[in-house]
Amino acid sequence: MSNERTIKSFWWSPDQPATRWFGILTLELDETPSLELFLERTAPSQPLPPVGSVIHGMDEHGKPITLLFTGSGHQSISGAVAKRTISAGYALIGISLPDADSFVAHSLRFELQHFYGWLGRSGYNTTNDTAATFTVQYRKPEDEIFTITQDLDLVIHSTYSAKNGFQERSIKEDAAMTFKSKRGLSLANCQELVGSMRMLLHFAVLKKIYPTWMTAYQNGHGYEALGRWIAHDIEMTSSILHEAKSEYPMADRWVFRFEDVCQNFANFIRDWLAYEEKFSEALGCYASTVYHSFPSQMTLLTLTQGLDAYHGIKYQSHEDHNFKLKLEEILKYHADSLKGLVDDLPDFADRVHASRNFYTHHNPKWDKDGKVAKRSDLIRMNERLKLLFQMCVLADLQIPRDRFGRLRRQIATQIIEYI
């Protein structure tokens, strides 16, 4: 089923608000916001007006829209009418801004894939169910608020949608989170917070994590009705949004869940945000292998770069250029968790070192002893390096090591090589 959404609207450049064009904004999950503009030309020789990095619009109901980081695509001309297609990095529905630097959110609410299953809480009451009958009772769980810093709070919400019809009644439950800031969050701050929580959930479920919707609120941006302040939603749409889904809330399907870290959750999130910033280079290398399909050679180089950066940051070893010894040190720390996968640690480190140097420099000297991994051997090597990086992060998060066995589910049971 298509999730495409179209908004008929009028558009203008911020520096020329009197000149307006009709357009259709198309929003679709996993796709860049796209705007088709229809421009009237008074003469065949009339040039089309330039498009800046920001475009303002208004939908059929008068709601303002701001497109940020815009760029022109193809255009076509038919007599007096020209059609231009424009892509945008962000479509902000509900606010008009002069530029991206002007964006401020005092509250950022969003939903991530798999967050519901990780959270593991529900408002359903099924205690009266039997084999023959069942009764659906639902009470929305209370919000939980955690103070992360003096300026930043995290709120966990249960969300639901209900249908109460003549022949059908249903409730669909999910979960979302909100970061609240007194000073306000810039667009970059919002991206960083969403990215940090995506990374955290990835290490819990070992899958790609995407936001499914994002909404911001700004102090003073709203209206008063019957003595009550109503804040305007600022809907944030971009290609990063994906379809909602969640792994089942069954403990053995996760490396760790909310129940494992909830005792001091505010400190856990505070430490994670600091950790994610500190190890951003290493985590970025690792994440690129999760969200992109690289050739095996590139995957090896990226994972080894991530492990090298991790060791350099954790042990302040940037001046030490002996990657083989660094890798051995990391392997020894996780030797028990790697049993059966990597038993001869020095030999594995030696082969990774030779393979890394060969695929970096393509010097035959690194392959003269047959230590360079190729084809399925290279795939297996990458599997173990990825597990090793995951163990490093999970150990730093103080996740019990007896959970690390669940990481082995990522190991391919069979690799078919095509000639």
What is the SS3 assignment for 20-62? EEEEEEEECCCCCCEEEEEEECCCCCCCCCCCCCEEEEEECCC
| Predicted confidence (pLDDT) per residue in 292-330, tens digit | 999 999 999 999 999 999 999 999 988 888 999 999 999
pLDDT at res. 104: 95
pLDDT tens across the length of the chain (419 residues): 467 899 999 998 888 888 888 989 999 999 999 999 887 766 666 666 667 789 999 998 889 999 999 987 676 666 667 788 889 999 999 999 999 999 999 999 999 999 999 998 877 776 666 666 777 777 888 889 999 999 999 999 988 787 877 777 778 888 999 999 999 999 999 999 999 999 999 999 999 999 999 999 999 888 888 888 888 999 999 999 999 999 998 888 999 999 999 999 999 999 999 999 999 999 999 999 999 999 999 999 999 999 999 999 999 988 888 999 999 999 999 999 999 999 999 999 999 999 999 999 888 888 888 888 899 999 999 999 999 999 999 999 999 999 999 999 998 888 887 76
**Cβ atoms 237, 91 nearer than 8 A:** yes
CA nearest to 322, candidates 301, 340, 308, 339: 308
**Cβ atoms 124, 253 nearer than 8 A:** no
* Angle formed at CA 215 by CA 212 and CA 218, multiple of 5 degrees: 165
**Cβ atoms 245, 117 nearer than 8 A:** no
**Cβ atoms 281, 309 nearer than 8 A:** yes
Give the chain's mean pLDDT. 89
pLDDT at res. 38: 83
CA distance 244 to 238: 15
pLDDT at res. 47: 61
Q: What are phi and psi of 74, to 5 degrees?
A: -80, 160
CA distance 115 to 216: 19
| Predicted confidence (pLDDT) per residue in 163-211, tens digit | 877 777 778 888 999 999 999 999 999 999 999 999 999 999 999 999 9
pLDDT at res. 130: 64
CA distance 67 to 233: 16
**Cβ atoms 107, 216 nearer than 8 A:** yes
pLDDT at res. 126: 66
pLDDT at res. 49: 64
- The domain ranges of the chain are 5-93, 103-275, 279-410
